[in-house]
Amino acid sequence: MRDKVTSARRWVVKIGSALLTADGRGLDRAAMAVWVEQMVALRAQGVELVLVSSGAVAAGMSRLGWSARPKAMHELQAAAAIGQMVLIQAWESSFGEHARRTAQILLTHDDLSDRKRYLNARSTLRTLVELDVIPVINENDTVVTDEIRFGDNDTLAALVANLVEADLLVILTDRDGMYTADPRHNPDAELIYEARADDPALDAVASGAGGALGRGGMQTKLRAARLAARSGAHTVIVGGAIEQVLARLKAGERLGTLLAPERGLLAARKQWLAGHLQTRGTLVLDAGAVKALATGRKSLLPVGVRALQGSFRRGEMVICVDPEGREIARGLANYSALEAQKIIGQSSDAIERLLGYIDEPELIHRDNLILV
C-alpha cells in the first residue's frame, strides 16, 4: 500500500499543537523551518499541498504567559485571536524563505456542512492550489461557540481532505503512529504499519487520552482517517519529529501507520455524493449534454441545459434528466435556481454578462457529478 503514498498527487498535511509549540513553550520555529523545507521539496516534485496547522491557542497562551490551558470560552477565544497572528506570521515567514506564497484560511465545521459555504471554500482552495499558493488552514477558534478541542483539527483536516479531494492525509503527531498497546506503559507494544481505516479492531488500541495542550489523542486521529476514507483518501499517522519524515514518506519508506480506504478515490467520492444529499431540483439536458456526460468525464455547462424545475441554492443537489425525462446524473449546482434560469442555454462566456459576475464556468463541475 505504500505506493499509494509515493504516487499521491495532493496531500493535506496536519501538524498538531504539541509539535508546533514544543509542548507549550512557544512556537518551535526551527521545527517549522524543517517541515517547510520538506513541503517545498514535495511541491518541487509536483505534489499539491494544503497545510492544516493547529497551534493558535497554544501560541496565544505562550504570548500571554499562561502555563495552563484556560477553561473559560472567552479566554480560549482570546488566546486563539492572539496566537493566530503569531502562527500565520511564522508560516508566512518560513515559506517566504523559499519564495513560496501562502494564504490563510480560517474555517469552522459549519463552513463545511453548509452546502453553499462548502462550494465556496472548495472553489477558493482549488484556485489557490492552481495559483501555486500553499493554503494554511486552521479552525476559526475565535468565533466557534462549542467547546474548543485539540482533536477538532484532526477532524477539520479530514474534512479538508474531503473538500479538496486529496489523495493523502498526513497527520503529524508526537507519537510514531498507532500501536497495538500504549507504548508509554507497555514495552511489548508494536507499531501498526498498515491497516484498513474501517477495521473495528483499531478502536480497541486507539488511546483516547490527549496531552496537556490537546484534547484528542489517537482516537480523534483514527476518526479523522475514517472521515478522509469517505472520499477515498489514504491517511498516514506518523511522528512529526522523525527526521525528514515527509521526504521519507514520499520516498516510500515504511513510517507511521498507513490507513487505507475501502474504496478508491473516485468511487468513494461518487458514493459520498450519491448518499449524502437530498435533491432540490431538476435540470433538463439537451442530447449533446447527455452524450457528453455519458461518454466522458465531463462537466455540465449551462449551454447544455434546456430547462430547470424546482428551487435550489448554490451547492444543493440537483437531478439531471434527458429530453425524455430519464434521470442520467445528479450533482451539486454551482448556481442557484434563479441564477441558473438566466444562464441556461448560454455559453459559459456569457455568464458574467448575464449575471454581472461569474463563480464557475460550469453549472455542475465534473468532480461534483455522478452518473446514475
What does DSSP assign to residue 237?
A: E
Is residue 271, in this structure, part of any structural domain at all?
A: no
CATH code of the domain covering residue 17: 3.40.1160.10
CATH number of the domain where residue 314 is located: 2.30.130.10
| 235 in a known ligand binding site | no
222 plus 160 within the same structural domain: yes
Say whether both 255 and 338 belong to one domain: no
**Which of 207, 241, 265 is at the close of a domain?**
265
164 domain-assigned: yes
Which residue ranges of the chain lie beneath pLDDT 50? Answer: 147-151, 208-215
**Domain co-membership, 284 together with 250:** no
Residue 245 counted as domain residue: yes
247 plus 292 within the same structural domain: no
- At residue 1, the pLDDT reads 72
Please state the domain count of the chain: 2
174 is annotated as contributing to ligand binding? yes
Write the DSSP string, 171-198: EEESSSS-BSS-TTT-TT--B--EEETT
Whether residues 123 and 88 share a domain: the answer is yes
Taking the C-alpha atoms of residue 338 and residue 361, their distance in angstroms, rounded to an integer, is: 16
In contact, 207 and 235? CB cutoff 8 Å? no
173 annotated ligand binder: yes
Q: Could you tell me if 39 and 167 lie in one domain?
A: yes
Strand order in the sheet with 369-371: 305-310, 279-285, 317-321, 327-332, 369-371
> All 3 cell numbers of residue 1?
500500500
132 among the known binding-site residues? no
Q: Does residue 272 lie within any of the structural domains?
A: no
pTM: 0.76
Q: Give the residue from 236, 265, 294 where a domain finishes.
A: 265
Do residue 28 and residue 152 come from a single domain?
yes
Q: Does the residue 138 lie in any domain? A: yes
To the nearest 10°, report the CA torsion of 338, 340, 345, 351. Answer: 110
Query: How far, in Å, CA of 176 to CA of 195, rounded?
Result: 15
User: Using one digit for the tens of pLDDT, what is the confidence trace for 315-328?
Assistant: 888 999 999 999 99
State the Cα–Cα distance between residues 253 and 334, nearest whole angstrom: 41
Alpha-carbon span 132 to 162, nearest angstrom: 20
Supply the pLDDT for residue 214.
43
The pLDDT value recorded for residue 150 is: 36
* 23 vs 232: CA distance, rounded Å: 33
Are 240 and 291 members of one domain?
A: no
Q: Is residue 87 part of a domain?
A: yes
What are the tens digits of pLDDT across the range 298-307?
899 999 999 9
Residues 254 and 287 reside in one and the same domain: no
Task: Check whether 14 is labelled as a binding-site residue.
Answer: yes
**Domain co-membership, 154 together with 31:** yes
The values of phi and psi at residue 135, to 5°, are -70, 135
Tell me how far apart the terminal alpha carbons of the chain are, to the nearest angstrom. 30
The answer to whether 153 is a known ligand-binding residue is yes
- Domain assignment present for residue 270? The answer is no
Q: What is the pLDDT of residue 310?
A: 94
Classify 309 in phi/psi space as left (phi over 0), alpha (psi -120 to 50) or beta. Answer: beta
CB atoms within 10 A of CB 92: 15
Residue 267 pLDDT: 59
Predicted pLDDT of residue 209: 46
pLDDT of amino acid 273: 64
Residue whose grid cell is 498507513: 258
177 and 298 in one domain?
no
The answer on 99 and 23 residing in a single domain is yes
Q: Beta partners for 331? A: 318, 369
Which residues, listed in sequence order, are joined to residue 135 by a DSSP beta bridge?
103
Q: Residue 347 belongs to what domain range? A: 277-371
Where do we find the cell 442520467? 328
Last residue of a domain, one of 230, 265, 300: 265
Q: Decide if 303 is inside a domain.
A: yes
